[in-house]
Structure 1
Amino acid sequence: MAADLAADLDKLLAALGGAWLVLTLLRRATASREAAAVADGSAAPSDTAEALRRLQWQYLPAWLLFKAADWMQGPYFHEVYASKRHVATGEPFSDTDVSRLFLAGFVAATLVGTAAGSLVDSRGRRAGCVLYAAAAGAAAASVVCERPELLLAGRVVGGIGTSLLAAAPEAWLCAEHARLSLPAASLGGIFGWAYFGDSLVAIASGQVASRAASAGGPQAPFLASLPLLAAGAAIASATWRENRGGKGGGGGGGGLREGASILLRRPDLLSLMAVQALFEASMYIFVLVFAPAIVAAAPAAAREGLPFGKVFSCFMAACAVGSATFSLCSAKGLRAEAFLLPVLLGAAGALYLASSPPAATMLQRALSMSHKPLYLVFCFAAFEAAVGVYFPAVGGLRAAYLPGAQRGAIMALTRVPLNLLVIAVALARDRLGDTGALRCAAAAQLLAAAALASLWARGGAAGKGEAPAAKDKGLAASPAMSTLSRAKKAD
């Protein structure tokens, strides 16, 4: 069956590639209208365009190297720890042992990573990126150890690194974009390119990781990520200007107390942070269960040698389709809240269909799918397409809503409920099973959709407007930043 699944995945990958090509052509067809919207009917000044290109080339190489290192490790997280044995008994690690290591990273991110987000604002966003590379490198190197306490320490350090990756690069980009006084709409474009590039990097990283694992075992992809982390840190150190929280991007600023105070005063920010916490908690729950769910759906005799490298490539191709969808919707002038809402509902539907045996049987027959693992990959790819839309869209919304001085602190605070949700589901996984965990993830998506609807309603009540950076220059705001000027002025 593994060979049949591999052949079917090749067809799915080709179909996703075709969908991406169509969306990209449609996006190019609307490029002239997008340019008119950004420049208010005239060509952008050459110095502004040059500054934008320079910022893109500063940000993207380092960020994509960091993401490539992260993607190298992701497909083999479960396998590398499942290959370990207890020193005392010689027994292999059980799924429960692996889940505990998985949880250790989230607990560390909850307890320590929150303070790390505040430090990113006060000590510097570039420094935070370099610290992420060091933490992720230490976590990757720890997989060569056999002692459980060293593996646990590696996951704790890795959890702190994950918090830094979530906060530091984006905070640096937004602060640098503001310092250069670039058009507000252009920030959404950078996010679109970043997450499209992330999808391509993920596909390539998955293939490289698969070959590395075939040659050197499940530890090899982790070790192969170390040069990528070093290169990303070197580029950031050499080309990024340091910036911090506080007035004008300098000074101390930040702080968890100030961030929490702003969240309590701003219902719109609470709604946006609820969207982020719920969606990303759902995504991490999916990461925890998708591989075991696919394995469990396969016949017992066919569970060895399932083509997870191709599965991962299909997921990332679906992400690229989602990123292209975001770019097309943005080019057509749609508000981020408007097109993200059906995406969240669709993500909830995809996860529920993957967890519902009656729906699985019915749709498997309707779509003429020969085996359940292919059906699950199909549902999970639909969810990954939603992920591809979500990240650039929510990046634009954060850029418009979050105050620059406390950006890192607020983003770190958001990860507290996110991590607690993931921990709760992971601890209850034995009782819930893969099906129950997927249904929890689907419920989180529905709640995220409700929070986004609340944000949209508040934006509509505020009235349509422009992001301050766009208004000051007489430029039209990007869709992700429309209706948000009053939200920004509240600070």
Structure 2
Amino acid sequence: MYAEVFGILSAVCVAVRWAQYSAEKRDHSASVATGEVAGSTAAAGFGSFQRNYLLVYLLAVASDWLQGPYVYALYSSYGYDKAAIGQLFIAGFGSSALFGTFVGSVADKYGRRSNVLFFALTYGLSCVTKHSPDFKILMLGRVLGGIATSILFSAFESWLVYEHNKRGYEPSWLSETFSKAQFGNAIVAIVSGQVAGAAAGVAGKVAPFDVSLLVLVITGVVVAATWTENYGDSTQSVGGGLRNAWRTIMADEKIVLVGIVQSCFEGAMYTFVFMWTPALQTASDLTAGGKEIPHGMIFSTFMVAIMIGSSLFTFLSKQAPEELFLRNAFAVSVCVFAVATLTTALVPVYISFLLFEVVCGVYFPAMATVRSRYVPEETRSATLNFYRVPLNAIVVFMLYKNWGTIRVLQLCALLLLVATCCQHRLYSVSKVSIPRGNDVEDQEERREMIETDEAGMADAIEKVSS
């Protein structure tokens, strides 16, 4: 079954990706033809800019994916039991929650490019610590890894949004970059898993971390050679930047809602990463004679599902604002986890998990686009890391409690229900001002609708008054 599902989804992925590529090519040509973009030079310049960012970003996530498959196995090979390994994992998430906001404020003040270089340094040092079996050194490595992860999910995006806007590129092209980044992320995950496996087979379980270190060095060199520096509010102190970011969040309901949505969805998603193996294995034990599930094939199939979702995002964003179709996607994910808690049959559980991965593929570029609208530039990195504090707290809590599979999936469904409600609220309070792509006529119609409503309201008030 697993190989057949992988083949079918791979064919669907190729078809959707080709359709996405054709649509983007038509959109770029139309923008140049209608004068929305200042000729082919601007389009060519954007292509070079986008390729450079994607190269750096995908190298960075490759360094992360290379480590993932062998972290637990390496700790186990050093003789640590499940409880000790759990402490190491909790230290990583706790470090990200504790130091993440501080690191984000540093990025806003001293520069996002410098912060990315610091990411390469800290994650590289984390890889070096994997050569020691000493628990304290491994704990230090997890702390460094948590700091690096906070940078990975904030400074890169902050640098991109600033540079994209500064160079005057079309706003819709930013969504395109996010979509390609997510699509490439899935491909890199599959390739990195194979490379990590090959390295471990040749030189042992620590070898994938050495390969990751090499990739991080390349990442740092490319960034140092090609990226320009940009800042948030460089006049603020680090502590002042943190306070300013917090005040900004609390002063705007939309920014608060974005943070709640991100924390709830990604909290459920990272918890799912730990739970899909026992959930599918239990279903296999009950309905497929106890045969061990093919972890590598399932992981690859999940990545293909994410790639399908990231390509579907391009088409969804042309039909409706991200705030709206994200709400609908979250509602689907609630149903997905509800199915997984109501049945132990292998096929429906597996299909529900695949659908959730498609939703994840839609989520990441869509949420990045939403954040680019609402998160202020001067505190962007700090704000993005503030969002990760409750996310990391949720994951640490789930790991610490060590509940059964069904209970955890139920809690994931609850988190996703909260995300759905908050996303609906975000759409409700901001739908009038949400831009819809590059369609100037659509925006003009939207303005005319608002003006008509206002005129109608004024007439009604005048009639009542007379």
The two structures have a TM-score, normalised by structure 2, of: 0.87
For 2:442 and 2:178, the matched residues in 1 are separated by 18
Match of 1:262 in 2: 248
Correspondence for 2:86 among 94, 99, 109: 99
- Cα distance change, pair 253–147 in 1 and its aligned pair in 2 (3 A): closer
Contact 1:284 1:422 in 2 (8 A): yes
Measure how far apart 1:106 and its partner are. 1.2
Larger-Rg structure: 2
- Paired position in structure 1 for 2:74: 80
- Structure 2 match to 1:398: 371
Q: Could you report, residue by residue, the CA deviation over 1:392-427 in whole angstroms, capped at 9, with x for unpaired residues?
A: 001111111111111001101111111111111111
Q: Distance in 1 between matches of 2:289 and 2:136?
A: 34
Q: Which residue of 2 aligns with 1:231?
A: 218
* Contact 1:130–1:237 (8 Å) recurs in 2: yes
Q: Deviations over 1:9-46 (max 9, x none)?
A: 22221111111123234435644764487569447322
- The residue number in structure 1 matching 2:179 is 192
Distance 2:195 2:267 in 1: 27
Partner of 1:88: none
Please show how residues 214-229 of structure 1 align to structure 2 within 5 Å.
Answer: 214-229=201-216
Q: Which residue of 1 aligns with 2:399?
A: 426
Matched, 1:440 2:400: no
Is 1:279 the equivalent of 2:275? no
Work out which of the residue numbers 328, 332, 339 in structure 2 matches 1:342: 328
User: 2:127 corresponds to which letter in structure 1?
Assistant: A
Paired-residue identity, %: 31
Deviates more, 1:189-198 or 1:93-102: 93-102
Indicate yes or no: 2:424 matched with 1:453: yes
Once the two structures are TM-superposed, the CA of residue 449 in structure 1 deviates from its matched residue by 1.1
SS at 2:228's partner residue? coil
Q: Distance in 2 between matches of 1:273 and 1:346?
A: 20
What is the alpha-carbon distance in structure 2 between the residues aligned to residue 307 and residue 215 of structure 1?
A: 22
One-letter amino acid matched to 1:205: S
| Cα distance change, pair 360–39 in 1 and its aligned pair in 2 (3 A) | farther
Aligned residues of 1:213 and 1:219 also touching (Cα < 8 A): yes
- Aligned counterpart, 1:21: 14
**AA partner of residue 189 (structure 2):** A
Q: Is the 8 A contact 2:88 2:139 kept in 1?
A: yes
Structure 2 match to 1:146? 133
Are the aligned partners of 1:142 and 1:154 in contact in 2 as well (CA < 8 Å)?
Answer: yes
Q: Name which of 203, 221, 229 aligns with 1:242.
A: 229
Measure the CA separation in 1 of the matches of 2:183 and 2:124.
25
SS in structure 2 of the partner of residue 218 of structure 1: coil
Q: Which residue of 2 aligns with 1:409?
A: 382
Matches within 5 A, 1:38-187: 41-42=34-35, 44=37, 45-85=39-79, 93-187=80-174
Query: Per-residue CA shift, 1:300-353, capped at 9, x if unaligned?
Result: 9998975322222111111101111112222x3321122222221222222333
Shift of the 336–22 alpha-carbon distance from structure 1 to 2, 3 Å rule, reads same
Residue type at the aligned position of 1:200: I
Q: Deviations over 1:203-257 (max 9, x none)?
A: 11122222223333433222221111111111111100011112xxx65587111
Gaps of 5+ in 2: 444-466
- 8 Å contact 1:269–1:402 — kept in the other structure? yes
Q: How far apart, CA to CA, are the structure 1 residues paired with 2:235 and 2:173?
A: 26
Quote the Cα distance in structure 2 between the aligned partners of 1:308 and 1:350: 21
Two-structure CA RMSD over aligned residues (Å): 2.8
Alignment CA distance shift 1:39-1:417 (3 Å): farther
Aligned length: 440
CA change 1:316–1:465 in 2 (3 A) is closer
Which segment is superposed worse, 133-142 or 288-297? 288-297
Give the 3 Å change call, closer, same or farther, for CA 262–425 of structure 1 in structure 2. same
SS where residue 206 of structure 1 aligns?
helix
Q: Which residue of 2 aligns with 1:480?
A: none
CA distance in 1, matches of 2:49, 2:61: 18
1:387 to 353, 360, 372: 360
Structure 1: distance between partners of 2:31 and 2:324: 20
3-state SS in 1 of match to 2:334:
helix
Please say if residues 102 and 155 of structure 1, whose CA atoms lie closer than 8 Å, have aligned partners that are also in contact: yes
Question: Which of 339, 348, 357 is the matching residue for 1:353?
Answer: 339
| Contact 1:121–1:253 (Cα < 8 Å) also in 2 | no
Q: Distance in 1 between matches of 2:280 and 2:203?
A: 24
Secondary structure class of the residue paired with 2:83: helix
Question: TM-score by structure 1 length?
Answer: 0.83
Whole-Å Cα distance in 2 between the matches of residues 46 and 171 of structure 1? 26
**Helix, strand or coil at the partner of 1:360:** coil
3-state DSSP class of the match of 2:124?
A: helix
Paired AA for residue 148 in structure 1: F
8 Å contact kept, 2:284–2:291: no
Q: Does structure 2 conserve the Cα–Cα contact (< 8 Å) formed by 1:37 and 1:476?
A: no
Residues 382 and 217 (structure 1), Cα distance of their counterparts in 2 relative to 1, 3 Å cut: farther
Within 2, Cα distance between the matches of 1:37 and 1:404?
A: 30
